[in-house]
Amino acid sequence: MRRRANDSAGMQIDARAGREGLLNPVERSAEVLFGLIMAVTILGSLSIAKAGSNEVRTATAAALGCNLAWGLVDAVMYLVRTLTERARLRHLAKRVIDTDTNSAHHLIRHALPADFIAIIGASELEGMRRRLLAHPVPAGTVLGRRDYLAAVGIFLLVVLATFPVVVPFILTDDIALAMQISRAVTLLMLFIAGWVLGSYAGYLRPARTGVFMVLIGVALIACVKALGG
């Protein structure tokens, strides 16, 4: 399961419960990475030797427009994914409530993450089943206000990731200098995203994760450009 288990049920039925924030660090870093790769790939198509002001304006507009579209699609798919997963969990909870004890244990066990299955026994499964029986499955609207705010957050992250990359092309007419600054900013943002992920994962040296993220970002950008992106 993607989100933390509900204290009352031992599994997540309603993802609105227990969320510390609209998006976790992994989701935030992923959205920033998507936006960066898209923007850098488009701006990387500029020819430093031949690009004029019209080409630069076209490329920056294309980078922003592409990220606007990507952010919108990503936000909508987040809502679709959340709706589907939450509806599935509610349906699972109803099945657990309506079936016999052994079948309920089987359903709960197979719904839990693989890492949990090895450390829980029949008593924990029965405890989950009893708490489900004591707390009715949430009814009504599946998506809530926080879900829509999270979708807006995704959209903004993808779009805002474009601006640090394109701003140098707006502030200077020196295409070569703007390209160097843009690339440096991209590498810095990739490093910060990796640092955040490393800290979130509990690594003692999150800077290594930052460097690894830079290498991943550079490799992905090279692949996208090689494939004609």
- Rounded to an integer, the average pLDDT of 125-129 is 84
Instruction: Tokens for 153, please give them.
Output: 């957050």
Say if 74 falls within a structural domain: yes
Say if 203 falls within a structural domain: yes
Place of tokens 């679709």: 80
- Rounded to an integer, the average pLDDT of 47-62 is 66
The pLDDT of residue 151 is 92
pLDDT at 96 over 70: yes
Say if 189 falls within a structural domain: yes
The pLDDT of residue 227 is 63
Max avg pLDDT among 6-15, 29-38, 70-79, 112-121: 70-79
Q: What is the pTM of this model?
A: 0.69
User: Contact at 8 Å (CB) between 36 and 217?
Assistant: yes
Say if 187 falls within a structural domain: yes
The pLDDT of residue 50 is 53
DSSP character for 120? -
Number of structural domains (the chain) is: 1
Say if 148 falls within a structural domain: yes
Say if 169 falls within a structural domain: yes
Mean pLDDT of the chain: 78
- Considering only residues 194 and 20, tell me which one the structure prediction assigns the higher pLDDT: 194
Say if 12 falls within a structural domain: no
Q: In which domain, by residue range, is 190 found?
A: 25-226
Say if 155 falls within a structural domain: yes
- Label residue 151 left, alpha or beta by phi (over 0 means left) and psi (-120 to 50 means alpha): alpha
Instruction: Tokens for 148, please give them.
Output: 């829509």
pLDDT tens digit sequence for 205-219: 899 989 998 888 788
Instruction: Tokens for 121, please give them.
Output: 């026994």
